Chains A and B, each alone.
Chain A
Amino acid sequence: MGILDKNLSLRNRNKILVGVWEDEDALIHAAEVLVHKGINIHDIYTPYPVHGLDRIIGVKRSRLARVAFLCGTTGLILMISMIYYMYVVDWPINVGNKPVRFTPSWIPVMFEGTVLCTAFGMGFFFFWRNRLLHGVKNDLLDDRQTDDRMIVAIETTESMNQSEVIEMMKSNGAVETREYVNGVQTVI
């Protein structure tokens, strides 16, 4: 499996049914109803994080925390190796004839290096996984999805009764419904 989440792009997809909501509670309820009826919601676009939506539409829990841990461990090992090489192997400094070995004075640098590697390692994978890159063309279904509207996108399948899905969206609070084919939207 690649790191980039391919679900985030809307290109090369079947026809997408688009529902527009304006109220958070109605949206959560509608998403639950749709999923309950066995309809596979491709994604929901919201201007702010709506808690619980990811679980309703079946997004798996992100593994970025594990990535962060791995990056942190790498950072710690890197820092210990760096200090050990410089301070013990390459050029030991004689301080009061004390043995040259690990001392607590290494800890601040080790800690800072670990935090730096964790934050930037995780940040890097966050951008990559989320398809966030300078110059990426954004697949917006609505100009106001970053403002105040919440958009539900349902990718059609051959077995899907499209008019029934649209009816369900309308009866559960969708203020507008559209279909999206190859970047062109028509209100239905």
Chain B
Amino acid sequence: MIHDSLIRERLVTGDKTASDVTRDISRPILNQPTSAWKIGFTLSVVFLAIFVVSLFYTLWTGIGVWNINKSVMWGWDITNFVFWVGIGHAGTLISAVLLLFRQKWRMSINRSAEAMTIFAVVCAAMFPVFHMGRVWVGYWALPLPNAFGSLWVNFNSPLLWDVFAISTYFSVSLLFWYIGLIPDIATIRDKVKTKTSKFWYGLFSMGWTGSTRSWARYELVSLILAGLSTPLVLSVHTIVSTDFATSVIPGWHTTIFPPYFVAGAIFSGFGMVATLLIVARKVMNYENYITIGHLEAMSKIIMVTGSIVGIAYITEFFIAWYSGVEYEQYAFTNRMFGPYWWAYWSMMSCNLLAPQVFWMKWARTTPWFIFTMSIVVNVGMWFERFVIIVTSLHRDYLPSSWVMYSGSLTEIGLFLGTFGIFFTCFFLFAKFLPVINMAEVKSILRNRE
């Protein structure tokens, strides 16, 4: 028999009914944009403009406007690529892995996390694409028959695996997100008044009526997509890590990279989800949907994955020492005490030490504090990629090839600019689509056991 749970805390507070959910979640879509939205959107567009200018300068003049040099051939760009791909992992993790584990708290946050995934992957894709230099021949990375003889792409190369992994991840995440959106777009379609809105929401809801037959298939498809996306998420960051791990650069060729990168990706992804949702719940008055319970659950995941990443850092050191390989040992000592010590220690303190505060219940349940911590996590994870890339490359086997590297103004502009892309997309999403999955939230209003 179905009955209400006496011990489990409610996932949605405030005694909401189904129509309250529709009203609350569709309010930003049906009403005029608020001034908070306008300010945020304008700021994002300013950053987007920085991206466009930096990109134009790069394309017009050439990759030489970046400070990458001989031996540090991957600098800010690949750091940013891995940073954004990592952020893009939480969305599918929340919707897929937590769906398989029947974690119902995911329902209030999965929509915005999936949107974040898609926008983050778009940002990530910018960097390897433009790092190619001649972006107009970027399609050479695809296995297409070409006019230059029977030359095909190299299936032994992790860089090619990346092409397949990232494009598959992006398309499957988009499909997953869109299928999940259809019932909610239908709800909006039946609420909007103007002819234009009715047309667009009608077009994208594709005639959804909420028939029991459709729901049964919808749930089955969601489950199978979740089952597919789970190994997909793991494969994507594993493949990103093999970009490094299959090389023979000291500091890179370690077998621990795949699990370590996946944990790091989940860590940074949840960091970004927390950053976005703590602001969104405040600005859009969604405190009853994204409750302290949700924030606490996310904080716990941040703490666990942060600790996993920390153990990976320490294991790398141990193995470098234990291997007895001089170059490997030097690479790691150089990370800690070399010229980039500040980057290394920023990474260590942000990723390993800082999240340990979440052992305290106060820290896990105080929104402003979690917000601060989420920023710390994002900074830390950017430094992690910077440390891995730059400290491993800047001192080659020959001391005569030793160089220093710092990002040029254009590289910094491109990085800041991707925040413009990300937030512009996110603000548009928050204005035109429901940021919380209404249909799923309606199904958990009663605290069933």
Contacts and interface: CB of A to CB of B under 8 A. Distances in A.
A156 B150 CA distance: 66
B216 A138 contact: no
Nearest to B19: A148
B235 A108 contact: yes
Contacts of B216: 49, 54, 59, 62
Contacts of B217: 62, 64, 126, 129-130
A8 B179 contact: no
24 contacts: A7-B211, A8-B209, A8-B211, A45-B209, A47-B210, A47-B438, A48-B443, A49-B216, A53-B212, A57-B212, A64-B220, A86-B152, A90-B152, A95-B156, A109-B161, A115-B168, A123-B221, A132-B207, A132-B214, A133-B206, A135-B206, A139-B209, A145-B209, A148-B442
B440 interface: yes
A31 B224 CA distance: 28
A107 to B, nearest CB: 9
Nearest to A28: B2
B209 A118 contact: no
Given A108-B239, A138-B186, A148-B18, A7 B213 contact: yes
For A116, A129, A147, the residue with the greatest tally of chain B CB atoms inside 10 Å of its CB is A147
Given A48-B440, A108-B239, A147 B224 contact: no
A48 B239 CA distance: 37
A58 B438 CA distance: 27
Contact of B155 (A49, A64, A109, A135): A109
A20 to B, nearest CB: 13
Given A64-B224, A126-B179, 5 more contacts: A122-B221, A130-B218, A145-B210, A146-B208, A147-B18
Contacts of B63: none
Given A95-B156, A123-B221, A148-B17, A138 B175 contact: no
B187 A47 contact: yes
A5 B231 CA distance: 31
A146 B154 contact: no
Contacts of A175: none
A59 B212 CA distance: 8
A53 B165 CA distance: 38
B210 A119 contact: no
Contacts of A131: 207
Interface string A82-103: 1100110011010100000001
A130 B214 CA distance: 6
A111 B168 CA distance: 10
Interface of A: 5, 7-8, 24-25, 43-50, 53-54, 57, 59, 62, 64-65, 68, 82-83, 86-87, 90-91, 93, 95, 103, 105-106, 108-109, 111-113, 115-116, 118-120, 122-123, 126-127, 129-140, 143-148
B41 interface: no
Given A47-B439, A147-B187, A105 B155 contact: yes
A105 to B, nearest CB: 4
The 3 closest A-B pairs by CB, nearest first: A136-B207, A148-B18, A108-B161
Interface string B426-442: 00000000000011101
A67 B379 CA distance: 44
B369 interface: no
Interface of B: 2, 17-19, 22, 143, 150-156, 158, 160-161, 164-165, 168, 171-172, 175-176, 179, 182-183, 186-187, 189-191, 202-221, 224-225, 228, 231-232, 235, 239, 438-440, 442-443, 446
B207 A137 contact: yes
B206 A119 contact: no
Chain B residues touching A, majority SS: helix
Nearest to A106: B155
A86 B153 CA distance: 8
B175 A43 contact: no
Contacts of A59: 212-213, 216
B213 A146 contact: no
Contacts of A148: 17-19, 22, 442
A129 B401 CA distance: 62
Nearest to A135: B203
Contacts of B205: 138
Contact of A45 (B179, B182, B211, B232): B211
A83 B440 CA distance: 41
Contact of B187 (A43, A103, A135, A146): A146
Contacts of A45: 209-212
B439 to A, nearest CB: 4
A44 B212 contact: yes
A113 B143 CA distance: 12
A174 B179 CA distance: 31
B210 A46 contact: yes
Contacts of B186: 138, 146
Contacts of A7: 211, 213
For B212, B214, B220, B438, the residue with the greatest tally of chain A CB atoms inside 10 Å of its CB is B212
Contacts of A123: 175, 179, 221, 225
Contacts of B153: 86
A52 to B, nearest CB: 9
Contacts of A91: 150-152
Contacts of A126: 179, 217-218, 221
Contacts of A119: 171-172, 175-176, 225, 228
Given A113-B164, A123-B179, A126-B217, A93 B154 contact: yes
Contact of B209 (A122, A127, A135, A138): A138
A91 B152 CA distance: 7
A91 B207 CA distance: 49
A144 B210 CA distance: 11
